[in-house]
């Protein structure tokens, strides 16, 4: 009897092992099948988008000249057209006498990029200290000859493609330098969404701010802090920290600093949205809000605020578009209005609330910007500036079509299926 019981237990163990093996095979096949479907869907979207882009007109959008708003001890001039912005930036670089700081995510090697390069070279030749930072990953397609064309006397550095050694996948080391800053002679500072290149001069709709007065020191300090930690050469002294930092009730700078796991821009947005009573007007290139963000927007709409968000109908990143759309049902049902920008890429990262609060900066409302990249936004509490930002939003709205819940609910089944297939990846964007 004992031998029979032992034999029975042996066969039971063997059967359990076979069942576990069959289950593992089924799980592996399911995972591989899901990945295959997701990969095929992504490849199909990429191919379709490449074909669509060839026939899509770009650059036909309304804009108006920049206007200056006077704030206590500062002035802010808001640009919504790249050509006008670039001419002003180049003029300020040409007039520089002491020091120029330029930090940009993308710097194209085209005609406009060459103009910026030449202006910096001339500034360097007349004795101006020139410091430049670009992001290595964002400029992989820029010719190496252009990136090497700055003279050795220019202090140039690139945010590395990989950092942190074996820890490079940790959030402290994986963030890109997505900031766009220009500071001239400690007197003028620029911040916003514009990268440098001919495409952005006339064909993309973006927003940038030119700031003068006592608040320039805050953006200058943002550049210096980054340079001293990440960019300076080992054999050179760190840049001196600026003095006379501003304690302003009107303007504040918020910087995401991945190496320190500091991400205040997300909190800035959530706090402002939580205060909204009358209106929220947001313009975003890539809208992929997390749960707390979606909840805050819906709650604002439900307490009576007119919550409107402008997004590109088709952005330059097809996957960002589809990830964004996976949140449309929740937002539309919650009373949030979605306006889709037509005929051009809208790349601005701005918001204004209740005619009092505004932000202009480099951070998108997605995981990469809010808990990933190096970013910088200015927060401005001023009714005159908010009125200008609202006017810009209303002008942009004339180039939009509003997406209704009824229209969205009636979208084709293949679109719903595509959203479902890609949804598991949206939190990585």
11 φ, ψ (degrees, to nearest 5): -70, -35
Question: Range with the lowest mean pLDDT among 34-48, 77-91, 189-203, 302-316?
Answer: 34-48
235 compared with 48, residue with greater pLDDT: 235
Where residue 349 sits, what CATH number does that domain have?
3.30.870.10
Q: Is residue 237 part of a domain?
A: yes
Q: Is residue 138 part of a domain?
A: yes
Q: How far is CA 118 from the centre of its chain?
A: 27
Residue 340 has pLDDT above 50, yes or no: yes
Q: Is residue 62 part of a domain?
A: no
DSSP states of 172-226: HHH--B---EEEETTTEEEEES--BSHHHHHTEE--EEEEEETTHHHHHHHHHHH
Q: Is residue 60 part of a domain?
A: no
pTM of the model: 0.87
Residue 151 belongs to domain spanning:
67-250
Q: What pLDDT is stored for residue 218 in this prediction?
A: 96
Q: In this structure, are 115 and 133 located in the same domain?
A: yes
55 compared with 362, residue with greater pLDDT: 362
406 compared with 6, residue with greater pLDDT: 406
Q: In this structure, are 231 and 340 located in the same domain?
A: no
Identify the helix (H) or strand (E) that includes residue 301: helix 291-302
DSSP states of 263-279: -HHHHHHHHHHHH-SSE
Residue 284 has pLDDT above 50, yes or no: yes
Q: In this structure, are 320 and 360 located in the same domain?
A: yes
Of 55, 80, 95, which residue constitutes the final position of a domain?
55
Residue 82 token pair: 């790249």
Residue 365 has pLDDT above 80, yes or no: yes
Q: Is residue 61 part of a domain?
A: no
Of 220, 250, 280, which residue constitutes the final position of a domain?
250
Q: In this structure, are 13 and 142 located in the same domain?
A: no
Residue 2 token pair: 């004992």
Q: In this structure, are 283 and 246 located in the same domain?
A: no
Cβ count within 10 A of residue 68: 12
72 φ, ψ (degrees, to nearest 5): -55, 115
Q: In this structure, are 183 and 304 located in the same domain?
A: no
Q: Residue 262: how many CA atoms within 13 Å on its side-chain side?
A: 8
Residue 36 has pLDDT above 70, yes or no: no
Q: In this structure, are 20 and 98 located in the same domain?
A: no
Number of domains observed in the structure of the chain: 3
pLDDT band at 321 (very low <50, low <70, confident <90, very high): confident
Q: In this structure, are 316 and 167 located in the same domain?
A: no
**Cα separation of 63 and 80, whole Å?**
6
Alpha-carbon torsion, ordered 262, 264, 265, 266, to 10 deg: 90
């Amino acid at each position: 009897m004992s031998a029979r019981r032992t034999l029975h237990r042996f066969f039971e163990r063997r059967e359990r092992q076979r069942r576990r093996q069959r289950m593992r095979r089924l799980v592996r096949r399911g995972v591989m099948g899901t990945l295959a479907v997701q990969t095929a869907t992504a490849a199909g979207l990429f191919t379709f988008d490449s074909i669509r882009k060839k026939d899509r007109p770009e650059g036909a959008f309304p804009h108006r000249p920049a206007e200056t708003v006077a704030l206590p001890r500062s002035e802010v001039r808001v640009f919504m057209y790249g050509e006008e912005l670039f001419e002003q930036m180049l003029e300020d670089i040409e007039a520089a006498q002491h020091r120029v700081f330029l930090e940009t995510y993308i710097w194209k090697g085209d005609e406009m990029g060459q103009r910026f390069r030449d202006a910096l070279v001339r500034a360097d030749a007349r004795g101006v200290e020139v410091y430049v930072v670009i992001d290595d990953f964002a400029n992989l397609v820029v010719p190496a000859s252009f990136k090497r064309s700055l003279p050795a006397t220019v202090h140039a550095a690139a945010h590395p493609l990989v950092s942190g050694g074996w820890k490079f996948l940790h959030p402290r080391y994986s963030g890109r330098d997505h900031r766009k800053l220009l500071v001239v002679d400690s007197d003028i500072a620029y911040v916003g969404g514009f990268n440098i290149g001919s495409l952005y001069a006339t064909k993309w709709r973006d927003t940038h701010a030119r700031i003068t007065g006592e608040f320039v020191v805050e953006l200058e300090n943002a550049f210096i802090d980054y340079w001293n930690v990440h960019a300076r050469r080992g054999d050179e002294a760190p840049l001196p920290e600026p003095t006379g930092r501003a304690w302003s009730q009107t303007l504040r700078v918020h910087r995401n600093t991945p190496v320190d796991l500091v991400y205040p821009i997300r909190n800035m947005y959530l706090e402002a949205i939580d205060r909204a009573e009358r209106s929220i007007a947001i313009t975003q290139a890539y809208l992929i809000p997390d749960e707390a963000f979606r909840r805050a927007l819906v709650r604002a709409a439900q307490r009576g605020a007119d919550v409107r968000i402008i997004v590109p109908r088709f952005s330059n990143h097809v996957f960002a578009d589809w990830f964004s759309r996976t949140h449309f049902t929740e937002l539309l049902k919650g009373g949030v209005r979605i306006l889709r920008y037509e005929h051009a890429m809208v790349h601005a990262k701005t918001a204004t609330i209740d005619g009092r609060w505004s932000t202009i900066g480099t951070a998108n409302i997605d995981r990469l910007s809010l808990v990933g990249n190096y970013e910088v936004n200015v927060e401005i509490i001023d009714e005159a500036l908010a009125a200008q930002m609202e006017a810009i939003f209303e002008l942009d709205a004339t180039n939009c079509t509003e997406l209704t819940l009824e229209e969205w609910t009636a979208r084709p089944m293949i679109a719903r299926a595509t959203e479902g297939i890609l949804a598991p990846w949206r939190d990585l964007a």
